Amino acid sequence: MTQLPALTLVLGGAASGKSRFAEQLCQHSGLTKLYVATAQVYDDEMAQKVAKHLTQRGTGWKTVEAPVDVGAALVQATPTDVVLLDCATLWLTNVILGEYDLEAEITRLMAALANCAAPVVVVSNEVGQGIVPDNALSRRFRNAQGGLNQTIAAQANLVVAVMAGLPLTLKGTVPQ
């Protein structure tokens, strides 16, 4: 049983092992596991990805779907829970494509994270290390994701980057 900080951010590229690392942090906490899912399934590829994540996580998780209103999911958490929010990148996609007020939604998300009764582990993609996207929407998304990651990292007690399945601690100390 390990004690997690109030807020942990786990960053990485696609298929980097970030979700698996975040799941392990939650598993080792010994707390009741609450999975806040931001994905929306619109095609077979996403359905397969969700199924893979379900299998990878295993049993013992309560799942709450929250494509945009993460705060409503986080208020369900108690101090005996640990929350895995997977992932901030899909949440941001839902906010941008749903044409929500981006600044207002980020403010709401950050307040919900700060006020959650349980420790929260947030998974997010690092999207700024590739080429500059060739269209305005993609550039807007990349910039918004970078800003969101920086905002969460500033509030987080622990920030871990995962590459090739290997964690690199950027801020704080990974509980043992």
**pLDDT at residue 176 in the model:** 79
- So which residues are the catalytic ones? 53
14 vs 151, residue with greater confidence: 151
The whole-angstrom separation of Cα 127 and Cα 145 is 7
Question: H/E element holding 124?
Answer: strand 120-125
pLDDT in tens, 35-54: 999 987 878 887 887 788 77
The letter for the amino acid at 74 is L
Please give the mean pLDDT across all residues of the chain.
93
Measured CA to CA, the distance from residue 2 to residue 151 in angstroms comes to 26
Residues 76-113 pLDDT 10s: 999 999 999 999 999 999 999 999 999 999 999 999 99
